[in-house]
Amino acid sequence: MRPGIKAMAQYDYDLFTIGAGSGGVRASRYAANLGARVAVAEERYLGGTCVNAGCIPKKLFSYAAHYGEDIGHAAGYGWSAAAPAFDWRTLVANKDREIERLNGVYEKLLSGAGVTLLRGRATLVDAHTVEVDGRRISARYILVAAGGWPAVPPIPGAELAISSNEAFHMGEMPRRALVVGGGYIAVEFASIFNGLGVDTTLLYRGEHLLKEFDADLGIFLAGEMENKGVHIRFRSNIERIVRAANGGALQATLADGAALEADCVMYAIGRAPNTRGLGLENAGVNLAANGAVVVDAKFQSNVASIYAVGDVIDRVLLTPVALAEGMVVAESLFGTGGRGLDYEGIPTAIFSNPNIGTVGLSEAKARERAGGIDVYRTTFGSLRHQLTGSGEKVLMKLVVDRKTERVLGVHMVGPDAGEIIQGFAVALKCGATKREFDATIGIHPTIAEEFVTMREAVG
């Protein structure tokens, strides 16, 4: 730890963190391990969005949604079974039990590192003071890691809709669901509902799904999702929602005048930084138009004592990124200060059905940056489905700098895409070239081997 930290006795703590999510917990634990006196305040649940209303429960629901399809596919391999029955309440109860276990794990991680945990809402009083349930606490540094919150548009009847937060706690599974959005949360929940047997419609105001990703991914995914039974309506948006007079179904009226009935309308149109009401204005912290805390490369705000990481800075809304950001802050404040974070080449997965895995530049971004590129792309039916008759296809794509042969992007739609792309993310981080991909022996028969056997550029 830097000299002089322990001498700052005029403060109650060296670091006070607002929010016990991924970034806040990692920064707090690491800072405590470096010798800092640390406290964390959390008003909701330990583990933040990822553990409670994001990555973990979503992946559990995604697993659940695949089982019905897997049982159906098993017939092609000689298995026969009675028609499967699904119980929503069992899934929710078992999910809740796992989340409760993880909440306990996070509490032990903090206490084991000597971090003081305060259960309550913290707000800033000034650059070195926070207030928690009427108690004022001083700190040399304050870290804002309060996460994000789902956005729902202010249309008539918006209170009748749910977000991803509520989707994990519904008492009954809907028979019909409308999911609004075209990003990764929307396609994941549309796939989950559809896989669990819900009549699912996905509404999106844009022209194709996943506009922030390589264009081929969203286009290909839409086709596969429709083949699995999801109804997708592009260039569509809801103007108002009403409930039927008998208290039954919801009716969503679209901008074109069409009306759709559903038991559940879920908005998945993005998340907003959860900074409202934190008192950041009391300390003079600069915020972006959407409420995000404006920070520099070391995650320091314009106020020298106040830092921010994770969804509140609205850079890359991924748990591993928040963890890495938290490490940078702790190291900068209480260590040698040499740690940094490179946002290039961050891999990500989308747990739609089928899955998406992607790392590096999209084709469009690569053309902007590198100019001359070669694109390698293949679609095929995997060996697994040659006996199932499902017709499911896989898309795999490489984007290569023509001049240097360096692989700039690796993209996939298909089973276990995230598991496959993780390894290729290491290759891209190391600057691998297409020639090195070609020289790598594939594992046969696997889907992944296609990435090292594509020889002919298609664009």
Q: Of 447, 398, 446, 416, which is closest to residue 352 (Cα–Cα)?
A: 416
Give 38's strand partners.
Answer: 15
- Sequence letter at residue 130: V
Note whether 301 and 145 are within 8 A (CB).
no
Q: Of 356, 366, 308, which is closest to residue 332 (Cα–Cα)?
A: 308
Going by C-beta distance under 8 Å and a sequence separation of 6 or more, which residues neighbour residue 23?
48, 145, 309, 310, 322, 323, 325, 326
User: At 2, phi and psi to the nearest 5?
Assistant: -60, 145
Tell me whether residue 444 is one of the annotated catalytic residues: yes
CA 66 to chain centre: 19
Note whether 126 and 283 are within 8 A (CB).
yes
Going by C-beta distance under 8 Å and a sequence separation of 6 or more, which residues neighbour residue 64?
86, 91, 192, 195, 196
Q: Of 447, 317, 458, which is closest to residue 395 (Cα–Cα)?
A: 447
Q: Of 321, 352, 322, 341, which is closest to residue 418 (Cα–Cα)?
A: 352
Catalytic residue (one of 128, 169, 231, 444): 444
What H or E segment, with its residue span, contains residue 220? helix 215-227
Residues with a known catalytic role: 444
